[in-house]
Chain A
Amino acid sequence: MALPPNVTEAEFSAALSEFASAVGAEWVFSSDEDVALYRDSYSIYWDEPEERVASAAVAPADVEQVQQIVRVANKYRIPLYPISTGRNLTYGGSAPNLSGSVVVDLKRMNRVLEVDEDRHFALVEPGVSYYDLYQHIQERGLKVMLDVPDPGWGSPVGNSLDRGVGFTMAPFRDHFGAHCGMEVVTPEGEVLRTGNGALPGSESWQDYRYGVGPMVDGLFAQSNFGIVTKMGFWLMPMPETYLTGTVTVPRYRDFDSLVKEVSYLEDSFLIGMPAFGSPAAAGGFGGGSPAFASLMQNGWPSVEQLEQFVSTQGRPAWSVDLRFYGPEEVVRASWESAKRRFRDRVPGAAFQDGDLWRLPLSPEAQATSVLKPQLGIPALEIFDMVARNANTIDDPWEGHADFFAFLPRKADAVHNAARVMFETYTEMGVPPLHHPFSTPVNFYSRAFIVVTFIPTWRDPARNAQSRELFSKILDRCAENGWGSYRTSPAFQDQLVSKYSYNDNALLRFQEKLKDGIDPNGIISPGRYGIWPAGMRSGRA
């Protein structure tokens, strides 16, 4: 039996027994076979000594049981690691930061407590998945649209607490930003509610999130200051229609103008999440034209070479798919005004009208739709990326570790980040994914992300290579001032160490909070670099 650090077998057995008294013996998992189910399927340390593994798991059914678990953990100094649905794959899944932790599996707390279609919010428990919430809304015909991550089998609570993202309008696809009100079990076992939830008799817990005084909700995201047991989310009213349209611009240099105009539309709340592309370089390294391969054979080309390449392709350099939500009259007018603005600002801009969909989609249309995430419909189709696919027929991945370089919305920043990725891959002898036509995503409406996908395996030697590549990309990006929004426990200390302004003042402040709020250091030790006082000696 694995043990938590600095806990004797007798103490651990006593703790497990008390956990069983709290939740029922059937909901305490301590056999090797059961504990193995909490491994991170995508671990980049699979089967190596550094793999983070649990000692046991306990699955409470309600907030009172969570409180009891926390009290027992304090009594025996047992580190806990709460998960909601445990589907945070690529970012650690259901495995803890600290080996030997007891996973608090909140999957059984799966009640949709409220969905209000007039005030447009939901209140849910941690075990509710996006599928569950979607089904609840569908069955009742409620006129609200979810904003879902892709894949969509995680939970609104867990996804937002790791600052997950979606695909619709800016205020909703920032999932933590769209939350309103939390219930939290503190590390000492008290229950607190944030915002107007702290006001007895308030009916506006999910309407006004600040309450009075300091807003502490942020302490519970990517952190270890408590266990969130309820959370409210603002939802978009179900739009009447969804309209798409594509803009293309002819020259390589036009990306700058394209970005500025898309940012205007985004920040004016006229469009949902845009999707950039490059028709000229379609396929890139994964299947581009011979001319593209020739362009890249001597390394990163000059702008003049890139313009020359584009001019010979007969296709525009860049494209962006714009997505409009709202009444038909409004979305059609928005698209027409967008065309006018692009036409006025980018010589040679061209337009392709897309389809108009009336919402909600029929069940039949949903099943065959390629638009699921954009329309708030949970799906798992993105797993095609990691499952055996056309690019990996003979050598499928086991998982992936992604690095998201966060950038200002500037053309130069995108090209620079792509070049840093390209050069790092090339230096390591790994076929690069990025090239001068790489495009950003902007899950967060005010930032661009250049993302790279690195495979994980069940083979230590191959994982070592993936780790070296990931680590090097993280270092190189940080040298350029580019962080990332989220990463697995394997890289959290390294990532956090980059946010070092003024001698790590931010982390030191967080550690002071940790010492005061969680004096025994029982909640998720090490999560996002925040270790209890007795475990800090090795940090950067």
Chain B
Amino acid sequence: MRKTTSILVPMLTAACSLAVGQTAPSADKGKVIYDRWCTPCHGAVAPPENRFGGDGLPGTSALRFKYQGRLPELLEERTDLVPEFIRAVVRGGFFGMPITRKTEISDAELEDIIAYLTTNSD
């Protein structure tokens, strides 16, 4: 389950560095963007089998193989994600996950995703 009490912490932290005219990153907006762009690979609901040896969506399955239970396979359940890492993966690609351009996910939208995914962060 997601924690809700700590949502304000990353939002306030991010807000401190906002330029005039920018709005604070929103975890709620981030969830909408995450659902659109990320859940097709990193979501929880999946067919019972896939074609190359996994048993879930590819991002979720890959992280299950990678972490072998040491960390949650669902990004939304992670507590260790930091903004720099999320930015680096989205903008740089990572093991089959391709680069995402700013015409697809803008910098502001990426900050929303970060706000959403760091909701649980310690």
Residue numbers of A with Cβ under 8 A of B are 27, 29, 34, 36-39, 41-42, 57, 59, 85-87, 89, 93-94, 105, 107-108, 127, 131, 153, 367-370, 372, 378-391, 393, 396-399
Contacts and interface: CB of A to CB of B under 8 A. Distances in A.
A398 B53 contact: no
Given A384-B54, A384-B61, A397-B96, 7 more contacts: A94-B99, A108-B103, A367-B46, A372-B47, A384-B62, A385-B52, A388-B65
Nearest to A135: B36
Contacts of B95: 386-388, 396-398
A367 B45 contact: yes
A368 B103 contact: no
Task: Give 4 closest A-B pairs by Cβ, nearest first.
Answer: A390-B53, A41-B98, A386-B96, A388-B62
A369 B46 CA distance: 8
Contacts, number: 122
A387 B61 contact: yes
Nearest to A396: B95
Contacts of B59: 383, 387
B101 interface: yes
Interface string B28-43: 0000000010001100
B51 interface: yes
Contacts of A389: 52-54, 58, 61-62, 65
Contact of B40 (A94, A153, A388, A397): A153
Contact of B101 (A42, A86, A378, A391): A86
A59 B106 CA distance: 13
Contact of A387 (B40, B58, B101): B58
Given A368-B46, A384-B61, A386-B96, A105 B101 contact: yes
Contacts of A396: 62, 95-96
Contacts of A387: 41, 58-59, 61-62, 95-97
A105 B104 CA distance: 10
Contacts of B69: none
A245 B56 CA distance: 25
B44 to A, nearest CB: 10
A217 B5 CA distance: 57
Nearest to A379: B40
B9 to A, nearest CB: 28
Interface string B89-102: 00101011111111
A86 B41 CA distance: 18
Contacts of A380: 40-41, 57-58
A36 B92 CA distance: 8
B21 interface: no
A108 B103 CA distance: 7
Contact of A393 (B45, B65, B104): B65
B55 to A, nearest CB: 9
Contacts of B96: 383, 386-388, 396-399
Interface residues of B, number: 33
A384 B52 contact: yes
A382 B40 CA distance: 11
B13 interface: no
27 contacts: A37-B91, A37-B100, A41-B99, A57-B101, A86-B104, A93-B98, A93-B99, A107-B104, A131-B36, A369-B47, A370-B48, A370-B49, A379-B40, A380-B41, A381-B58, A382-B58, A384-B58, A384-B61, A385-B51, A385-B52, A387-B58, A387-B61, A388-B61, A388-B63, A389-B52, A390-B52, A393-B66
Contact of B102 (A34, A386, A390): A34
Nearest to A129: B104
Nearest to A153: B40
Interface string B63-82: 10110000000000000000
A372 B36 CA distance: 17
Contact of B65 (A37, A57, A390): A390
Contacts of A399: 96, 98
Contacts of B91: 36-37
A532 to B, nearest CB: 27
A357 to B, nearest CB: 14
B50 interface: yes
Contacts of A384: 50-54, 58, 61-62
A29 B102 CA distance: 9
A83 to B, nearest CB: 9
Contact of B47 (A39, A105, A368, A385): A368
B93 to A, nearest CB: 4
Contacts of A386: 95-96
A449 B40 CA distance: 28
A385 B50 CA distance: 9
Contacts of B53: 384, 389-391
A38 B102 CA distance: 10
A41 B97 CA distance: 8
Contacts of B97: 41, 383, 387
B101 A381 contact: no
Nearest to A382: B51
Given A368-B47, A368-B48, A390 B40 contact: no
Contacts of B52: 384-385, 389-391
B72 to A, nearest CB: 16
Given A379-B40, A381-B50, A39 B103 contact: no
Contacts of A39: 99
Contacts of A27: 103
